[in-house]
């Protein structure tokens, strides 16, 4: 007998309502509804239109009801750090900010100066980024005290929609762990940091483990029997749970999309001065695991280039862009994707060309050459940072599993294998949605733990293997040395 489940997968560019069917140890998926989720500019700020997103989610669920589909469960996952201030009886105190809004630069510097980076890291084990929830909330406390006073709690994005759908306000641990307010060793909110930024502790929601059943779905006629489940509310938590790795600990993962999440799965957090200095992070994973990783820039740079090219009448289809890149000369120009200039939107092709010009390299003259520069530079960044992760975690990494949208980019996958000198297994692209669905299946007693989830993944989705090219080894050795000398 088949089990039907719904994943509501929210990304920085689009959201989707996905129907999953688990039957005979295999998972199949169907996108029922897709909608845009890009930031909305309001009075010079970047915000998320969560009211609009909620309407689109309900539209997707009603499409299922109209078809007579009766899922057993559903769950929402999203990116981390961003949140909604809300209270019982008032689902939206203020329209939430988007993480690329510039508001956190000052509170980030001020909080780190006043509290101290060692003390913050000792509490949370989380890498330092100005976009983290801690600094966004500090900005609210400092500049919007009336909104903080009016709020009853904050909920990160995925948890917020699970609340709207179930009426049960809970923070799921994988998403809570992205806030830099969560202590991974005590498995509790950090009251010390909340007090340090003046945040009322009443705003800290109750935290539940991954795979917690919250309650029945509300507000969609015909779907009343569905249970709302906090799977992993963080999209990367879902994706890592769904990595189709064979038993063993000799593998690393790369969740490849707008961001690149590169790391290893550990039984517990690693919190020490060397980890802080390397700006690695400890995030909660499914089943009590720790996702020990680096949050790196991902396909954001290429996405921004595509937007510029599309506006100017150039190539706008990712497959076409990759084909053009594959015809361009290899390893001609390199950038540091983690250079601060590439973090903000706006004229990304111009920024790439300027970086190459400033560093005395050939300036990419065509979209294909520029895209190849970006993709090969990302591969070299992965190689550099995986060495750091392996050393700090004590893991011997023999293969890399790439999941997410970037797993479909064969040029990037081959470049990554060449840069690392390791085997790369690419796929599935839909690991986040699959992980969401299978954690729900675990919560409903139909799949047993991580081992069961990964067994279903291996049976359901093929992967593609990429091996380092012996012929290109010398060129990539030289490229790694050039990359290490680039300014950032």
Both tokens of 312, joined, read: 């100017």
Distances from the Cα of 105 to the Cαs of 57, 82, 101, 450, in angstroms?
A: 33, 15, 9, 38
Cα gap 245→250, rounded to integer Å: 10
Say if CB 73 and CB 227 are below 8 A apart. Answer: yes
Question: For residue 488, what pLDDT is reported?
Answer: 83
- With tokens 């733990």, the residue in question is 449
Domains annotated on the chain, with CATH: 3-235 (3.30.420.40), 243-427+448-488 (3.30.420.40)
235 is catalytic: yes
CA–CA separation, 305 and 386 (whole Å):
26
First to last CA, the chain: 55
**Peptide bond just before 428 cis, omega within 30 deg:** yes
> Both tokens of residue 378?
């990302």
- Residue 282 near residue 125, CB atoms below 8 Å: yes
Q: What is the pLDDT of residue 345?
A: 87
pLDDT of residue 221: 95
Residues 6+ apart with CB under 8 A from 107: 135, 136, 138, 139, 142, 197
Q: Which residues are paired to 16 by β-bridges?
A: 9, 34
- Those residues whose C-beta lies under 8 Å from the C-beta of residue 229, and which sit 6 or more positions away, are 73, 74, 75, 211, 212, 213, 214, 439, 440, 443, 444
pLDDT of residue 1: 80
Q: Are 446 and 2 a contacting pair, CB within 8 Å?
A: no
Radius of gyration of the chain (CA): 22
How high is the pLDDT of residue 337?
A: 98
Phi, psi dihedrals of residue 134, rounded to the nearest 5°: -50, -45
Q: What are phi and psi of 188, to 5 degrees?
A: -155, 160
What would the two tokens of residue 272 be?
Answer: 């020490």
The DSSP result for 23-78, as a single string, is ETTEEEEEEEEEEE---EEETTEEE--HHHHHHHHHHHHHHHHHTT---SEEEEEB
21 CB-near residues (< 8 Å, 6+ apart): 2, 3, 4, 5, 27, 28, 29, 30
Q: How many whole angstroms separate alpha carbon 58 and alpha carbon 438?
A: 22
Q: What is the pLDDT of residue 344?
A: 87
Q: Distance of alpha carbon 3 from its chain centroid, rounded?
A: 27
Structure tokens given for 453: 């989830």
Contact 389, 429 (CB under 8 A): no
Marked catalytic residue, from 235, 312, 418, 485: 235
DSSP 98-154: PTTSGGGHHHHHHHHHHH-HHHHHHHH-----TTSHHHHHHHHHHH-HHHHHH-SEE
The series of mean pLDDT values per 10 residues for the chain, 488 residues long, is: 96 94 98 96 96 98 98 98 95 95 93 97 96 98 97 98 98 98 97 97 98 97 96 97 96 95 98 97 98 95 96 93 98 97 94 98 98 98 98 98 96 98 97 98 97 98 97 97 95
Please report how the helices 431-443 and 449-460 are oriented relative to each other, as an axis angle in degrees rounded to 10.
130
Handedness of CA 77, 78, 82, 87 (dihedral sign): negative
């Amino acid at each position: 007998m088949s089990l039907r489940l719904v994943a509501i997968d929210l990304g920085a560019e689009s959201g989707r309502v996905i129907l999953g069917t688990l039957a005979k140890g295999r998972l199949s998926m169907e996108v029922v509804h897709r909608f845009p989720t890009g930031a909305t500019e309001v009075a010079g700020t970047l915000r998320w239109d969560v009211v609009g997103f909620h309407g689109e989610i309900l539209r997707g669920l009603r499409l299922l009801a109209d078809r007579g589909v009766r899922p057993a469960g559903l769950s929402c996952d999203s990116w981390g750090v961003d949140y909604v201030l809300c209270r019982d009886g008032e689902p939206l105190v203020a329209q939430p900010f988007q993480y690329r809004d510039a508001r956190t630069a000052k509170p980030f510097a001020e909080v780190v100066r006043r509290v101290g980076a060692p003390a913050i890291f000792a509490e949370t084990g989380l890498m330092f980024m100005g976009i983290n929830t801690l600094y966004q909330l500090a900005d609210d406390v400092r500049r919007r005290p009336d909104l903080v006073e009016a709020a009853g709690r904050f909920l990160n994005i995925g948890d917020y929609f699970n609340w709207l759908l179930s009426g049960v306000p809970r923070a799921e641990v994988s998403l809570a762990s992205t806030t830099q307010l969560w202590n991974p060793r005590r498995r509790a909110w950090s009251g010390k940091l909340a007090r340090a930024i003046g945040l009322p502790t009443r705003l800290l929601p109750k935290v539940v483990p991954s795979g917690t059943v919250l309650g029945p779905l509300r507000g969609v006629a015909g779907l009343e029997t569905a249970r709302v489940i906090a799977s992993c509310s963080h999209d990367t938590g879902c994706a890592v749970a769904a990595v189709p790795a064979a038993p063993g600990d000799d593998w690393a993962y790369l969740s490849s999309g707008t961001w690149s999440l590169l790391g290893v799965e550990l039984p517990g957090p690693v919190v020490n001065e060397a980890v802080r200095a390397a700006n690695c992070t400890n995030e909660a994973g499914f089943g009590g695991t720790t996702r020990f990783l680096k949050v790196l820039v991902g396909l954001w740079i290429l996405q921004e280039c595509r937007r510029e090219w599309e506006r100017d009448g150039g190539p706008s289809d990712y497959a076409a862009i990759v084909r053009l890149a594959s015809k361009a000369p290899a390893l001609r120009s390199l950038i540091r994707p983690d250079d601060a200039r590439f973090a903000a939107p706006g004229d990304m092709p111009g920024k790439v060309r300027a970086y190459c010009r400033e560093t005395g390299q050939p300036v990419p003259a065509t979209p294909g050459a520029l895209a190849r520069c970006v993709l090969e530079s990302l591969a070299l960044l992965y190689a550099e940072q995986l060495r750091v992760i392996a050393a700090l975690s004590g893991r011997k990494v023999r293969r890399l599993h790439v999941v997410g949208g970037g797993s479909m980019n064969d040029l990037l996958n081959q470049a990554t294998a060449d840069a690392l000198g390791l085997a790369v297994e690419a796929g599935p692209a839909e690991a986040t949605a699959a992980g969401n669905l299978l954690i729900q299946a675990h919560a409903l007693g139909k799949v047993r733990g991580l081992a069961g989830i990964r067994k279903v993944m291996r049976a359901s989705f093929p992967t593609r293997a990429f091996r380092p090219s012996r012929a290109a080894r010398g060129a990539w050795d030289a490229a790694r040395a050039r990359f290490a000398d680039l300014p950032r």
